[in-house]
Each structure stands twice: as structure tokens, then as C-alpha cells.
Homo-oligomer: A and B are copies of this chain.
Amino acid sequence: MKVLITGGGGFLGSKLAHALVDSGQLRGEPIDELVLADLDEPASIDAPFTVRGVAVDITKRAQVDTMLADKPDIIYHLAAVVSGQAEAEFDTGMRVNLFGTLHILEAARALRTCPMIIFASSIAVYGGNIPEPIEDWTELNPQTSYGTQKAASELLLNDYSRKGFLDGRGLRLPTISIRPGKPNKAASSFMSSIFREPLQGEQAVCPVPPDFTHWFLSPRRCIANLIHAADIDSAALGPNRCFALPGRTHTIRDMVEAMRRVAGDDPVNLIRWEPDLDLQKIVMGWKGRFNPARALQLGFLADDSFEDNVRYFLEEDVQPK
């Protein structure tokens, strides 16, 4: 079994790679080779099988063809320009998120081996005038360029699968919190920062009011769901291979109180509340209430509480000082 991860140097890609190295198998088959692709060559990982980092720009079709020349059986396509950057740099977002994805679909089709492609979509595909909770048949009505590019990619993934060119599965990721590392250009970045920085003794800014309501999943459960996506039988997916992952609806206030219960008052007191109206324009258009019936039926899982998310972060992701 050969596995490829685009965005393999990112935080989800890197966590997924470590989880695959730990288990040594995917879809019940031993892994022979794991390729981590990213703009900058990702570091390799010690493993009982080959792990290679490769530098790839997915906006270049020839580089994508080279990346796939080994005929991976399963491709995790996680590489993307995040929401804030796709909004600020429209052409970059189109090139990476739409055309980059198309290059991967076309290169996978050209292999004629019908590889599995597990695509990280996002709940940013939802927006505008739609009833909540969001059901499995709710329209994708993105109000950001990032969401638009993800939604268009989903449609193509589904059609390439229907045609038998590949075996696509598109998971609409909830906002992942608590994300480790540094703040990034995602409009959702603060939804990790306001926990990550205070839990490590640093101040952080919350740009939305405490009653901002959103849909969340921990990195740990997200990785488990990405791995589970490979286990599902193609026939079980039916006429739409893209759906929202399970998550939990929380207000910022609830999450802050969960952090207080796990880690005491000190981290909570490091949050500064400073409204950012530009950012609110993006994130207030996102949706926070979902009924992810299909994903639950297919065996995907949410977290049990946000306290768990705080504990997972403390266990896995605190940076040594």
C-alpha cells in the first residue's frame, strides 16, 4: 500500500503521517511507502517502511504528474491556501485550491488505476440564506472564495468518481481546534489561538463576541476520521461522496469555560476581547449547527466534549519552552 499526503508538511498532514507510521497500515493493508508532499519538502519520519518528503507545487501540472508517478493507492489531498489568504489573494486561491485540485484529479485519472482520493473540504462551503441545522442535502452556498473553491472541487471529485476515474471521498472539516503551532491566515485561526496561546502562558486576542457559535472538531478526532475515510467501502458512499464530518456546536463562551475547568483561571485571564469587524464579516457568515447524519451512519465520530479538546492539546501539542 502506497500512501501520498499533499500538504504533508502542514499540521494535519504531519499528524496524519505520524498516525500512519504508528499504525503501519491503512484500510487493513500494510503501508510500504508514505510520501509527504508540500511546497517545502517535509522532513521524513523514522518508520519501518519508506517515508519520503517531496517538494511539489500543485499549481504545476508536470510536478503533480511526477508526484503521482509512483502510483499511490491512496492520496490524501490536504494542500490548500487557507481562507484568509484565498480572500486576500483571489488568483492564488483559484490556482492552488481549484486548479491545483484539478491537476491532482487529472493526474490521478491519467494513472488509470482508480486511486482513492480523500479530500479535505471545509464547512466554509456553507453560507448565506440556508436553514439550520445544516442537513446532508443542504445547498453549498459559500460566501468566501476559499469555500467556493472547495465546493467546486467537491463537485468535480464526485463526478470524477462517478465516471470511475478515481474513488473520491470529500470530508467537510469542522473548524479544527485546538490547532497546534502558530497563528495562520485562516479566518478561523483565532478559534485555536485563544486556547493555544493562553494554555502556554501567552496572551491571545478574541475578535468575536463570546456568543459566537461554531462547529468544532479536535485534531486528534479529525485524524481518526481521515483514517476512517479510507476504510469505507466505495459502494456505501452512494451518489454523493462529500459530506460534513461530525463535530460539536460550541459558543466561544462554552469553550472558554471548558478550558477553565481543565486548566484553571490563569489561561482564561490571558484572553483579550477585541472585536475585528473585517474578520467578523467572514466568520459570521459561517454556519454553526449541523446534523451530520450520513457521516455518523458511516462511522465518523465527533469529540465527547471541548474539555477533551483541551486535554488532547495538553497531551500532544504543548511546545517545550
Chain A interface (Cβ < 8 Å from any Cβ of B)? 90, 127-131, 136-143, 145, 148, 151-152, 155-156, 158-159, 162-163, 238-240, 285
Residues of B within 8 A of A90 (CB): 163
Cβ-neighbour of A156 out of B139, B148, B162 (below 8 A): B148
B141 and A137 form a contact (CB under 8 A): yes
Minimum Cβ distance to chain B for residue A23 (Å): 33
New contact pairs (7) apart from A129-B240, A141-B240, A143-B162, CB-CB < 8 Å: A127-B239, A129-B238, A129-B239, A136-B139, A148-B155, A152-B155, A239-B285
Given the complex of chains A and B, what is the CA–CA distance between A86 and B34 in angstroms?
Answer: 36
Given the complex of chains A and B, what is the CA–CA distance between A139 and B139 in angstroms?
Answer: 3
Residues of B within 8 A of A148 (CB): 155-156, 158-159
Residues of B within 8 A of A139 (CB): 136-140, 240
Residues of B within 8 A of A136 (CB): 129, 139
Please, which residue of chain B has its CB at the minimum distance from the CB of A158? B148
Given the complex of chains A and B, what is the CA–CA distance between A136 and B130 in angstroms?
Answer: 8
A239 and B155 form a contact (CB under 8 A): no
Residues of B within 8 A of A162 (CB): 143
B128 and A142 form a contact (CB under 8 A): no
Residues of B within 8 A of A145 (CB): 159, 163
Please, which residue of chain B has its CB at the minimum distance from the CB of A127? B239
Residues of B within 8 A of A131 (CB): 137
B137 and A239 form a contact (CB under 8 A): no
Residues of B within 8 A of A137 (CB): 129-131, 138-139, 141
B159 and A128 form a contact (CB under 8 A): no
Given the complex of chains A and B, what is the CA–CA distance between A3 and B155 in angstroms?
Answer: 31
Residues of B within 8 A of A159 (CB): 142, 145, 148
Minimum Cβ distance to chain B for residue A158 (Å): 7
Residues of B within 8 A of A285 (CB): 239
Given the complex of chains A and B, what is the CA–CA distance between A158 and B127 in angstroms?
Answer: 12
Given the complex of chains A and B, what is the CA–CA distance between A152 and B158 in angstroms?
Answer: 12
Residues of B within 8 A of A163 (CB): 90, 145
